[in-house]
Amino acid sequence: MKKTITLVLALVAGAVFAEFKAGFARVDATPPLGIPIVGYFHKRVADGVLDPLNVECVAVSDGTNSALIYCVDDLGLGPVFTKKAFTAITAATGVPRERIYIHATHTHTGPATWTSVNFTKEENRLILQHVTNRIAKMAEAGKMALADMAPAKIGVAKTVCRNVSFIRRYRMKDGSVRTNPGITNPNVKEPLGTPDETLQLVRFRRTGAPDIAIVNFGTHPDCIGGTKYSADWPGVVRSTFEAAVGDGVKCLFLNGAQGDVNNAQPFPPPGRAALNAERQTRPKGRAIHLGRAVAGAALSVWDVCEEIPAGPVRGIVASHPMPANLPTADEIKWVELFDAGRRKEIPLGNMEIMTLTSPHSRVRRMKKGPDHFDILVTSLAIGDSLAFAGLPGEPFVDIGRAVKERSPFRTTIFTCLTNGSEGYIASTKAHADGGYEALSSRFAAPTGDKLVDAQVEQLKALKGGAKPSAR
């Protein structure tokens, strides 16, 4: 009798795993020209296209529950956008909010998705039109990915991609902290941290359909600049990987923790120095180099992925209150000095001053609070071995590293700018050090630690089979 029960359980488990399916969709979502391109302190308006901006979606199903994992070529998708997208995607696909995972790559050559008094009436009209179209295309991509699903087995792999991501915050010799202090700046003393050079790969090997890859690596997509739309180096990762593997393989890219890293090497060797200068002469030069390097690392482990069991698809999207980074007396004083034309008396670098004193800066907006902000934490699990963990901002490398180290899952894909865009999420140490990111962040020092705790708590709930919830 015992052998019979064991055999039945094994057959049931096998049937569940055999039902696991995955699908893929890609929709060209390049907006019309004339929309402001965001990501810098000065206004840029799109006047051309270097390469398409896509909406991509991977659908997964355990036979009962489905989930949608999106990659959108955008700087960030704010909470208002995300809320509308949740509603539209659920209406189109039936997939509930707790199993919708929307990630923006953070390209700095993508369109604004919010209106502003700094934009013209026509620019704001184009933005609102684009937002409506973008959400419709996300809903369309979700339906297409679900329709494309085929039986699949899951494989995972991990490697490193060296010398393409670098810490961008530095202690200067005078004790100050500078972000992007410039190449070969003689006043640099030391970097504040170490990059996470880990690359993770998820492979869905499908029956009767092309395979799907999810590549995960973290650094800023800010190689190109200018006024032409581009997916930057994440777009190069996808196209390079797909061309190299062939057989119709599809690649979705998910950016990791990138709040304090970028692609500029501060003291480059001769060859790298020439590459750093290519923005002026060959706009996509650095993006091509970085994208090929990341794709190459992923290709090196594509054929040696370790197969892991599928299982129930579960998700949690929950709101957590985080303490606000209220302005200090010194910060208020510095803004007053700036407004009085006494900029030279402010003990900050140019980037920090611009952050502190811009018309919509944290100091100007938050003199009267609030004392906290609610922030969505997103967790998605496939079985007991694979999880996706996303925060809706630009977390520092140490935050992503801590989530992956503390996660109960064998493989945890950590992503920035997931289901929202809330600005920089600095570590507690970074707040103590100061600098541009801490000055601009809406969140006070404990937030990084609290978000790690919240994310790990959600992952543990999914690992334990807790009923998914969304608050």
Name residue 412's beta-bridge partners: 387
Residue 13 within a domain? no
> Is 1's pLDDT higher than 60?
no
> Quick one: 46 and 109 in the same domain?
yes
- Alpha carbon of 435 to those of 133, 150, 164, 347: distances in Å? 37, 49, 23, 11
Pairing of strands 48-49, 228-229: parallel
- Residue 239 CA to residue 252 CA, distance in Å, equals 10
pLDDT value of position 268: 82
Contact of 438 with 394, CB cutoff 8 Å = no
Whether residue 467 is predicted with pLDDT greater than 80 in this model: the reply is no
In a domain, 469, yes or no: no
What is the per-residue pLDDT for 278?
Answer: 63
- Tell me, yes or no, whether 353 and 450 share the same domain: no
Phi, psi of 384 (to 5 degrees): -110, 10
Task: Confirm whether 123 is domain-assigned.
Answer: yes
Give the number of C-alpha atoms closer than 13 A to the C-alpha of residue 407, restricted to the C-beta side.
Answer: 27
Task: Show which of 339, 365, 391 is a domain's final residue.
Answer: 365
Is the distance from CB of 426 to CB of 452 less than 8 angstroms? no
Q: Does residue 4 lie within any of the structural domains?
A: no
Selection from 377, 370, 363 nearest residue 450 by Cα: 377
Distance CA 111, CA 439 (A): 25
pTM of the predicted structure, to 2 decimals: 0.92
**Amino acid 452: pLDDT:** 98
pLDDT at 11 over 60: no
Q: Considering only CA atoms, which of 131, 109, 112 is closest in space to residue 120?
A: 112
> From the DSSP assignment, how many helices (H) and strands (E) are in the chain?
14, 24
- 439/402 same-domain check: yes
Determine contact, residues 416/255, Cβ cutoff 8 Å. Answer: yes
**pLDDT above 80 (res 10):** no
Domain boundary among 305, 338, 365: 365
Torsion of CA 417, 423, 425, 429, to 10 degrees: 150
Q: Are the C-beta atoms of residues 201 and 158 closer than 8 Å to each other?
A: yes
Q: What is the pLDDT of residues 176-208, one digit of tens each?
A: 999 999 888 999 999 999 999 999 999 999 999
Q: Are residues 261 and 360 in the same domain?
A: no
**Residue 241 scores a pLDDT above 80:** yes
| Residue 78 domain boundaries | 18-320+372-463
> 457 and 332 in one domain?
no
Check pLDDT > 90 for residue 150. yes
434 and 332, same domain (yes or no): no
| pLDDT at residue 462 greater than cutoff 60 | yes
Work out how many domains the chain is built from and give that number. 2
Both 143 and 266 in one domain: the answer is: yes
Looking at the fold, whether 258 and 356 belong to one and the same domain comes out as no
Residues 149 and 255 grouped into a single domain: yes
Indicate if the pLDDT at residue 8 is higher than 80.
Answer: no
> Can you tell me the mean pLDDT for 434-447?
90
Q: Give the pLDDT confidence of 158-182 residue by residue, as tens digits.
A: 999 999 999 999 999 999 999 999 8
The answer to whether position 471 is within a domain reads: no
| Residue 303 placed within a domain | yes
Domain-located, residue 98: yes
Could you tell me if 139 and 197 lie in one domain? yes
The alpha carbon torsion through 33, 294, 424, 56 (nearest 10 deg) reads 50
User: Is the pLDDT at 4 greater than 60, yes or no?
Assistant: no
408 with 312, same domain? yes
User: Do residue 234 and residue 359 come from a single domain?
Assistant: no
- Is the pLDDT confidence value at 12 over 80? no
Average predicted confidence (pLDDT) for the chain:
92
Note whether residue 10 is domain-resident: no
pLDDT in tens, 49-88: 999 999 999 999 999 999 999 999 999 999 999 999 999 9
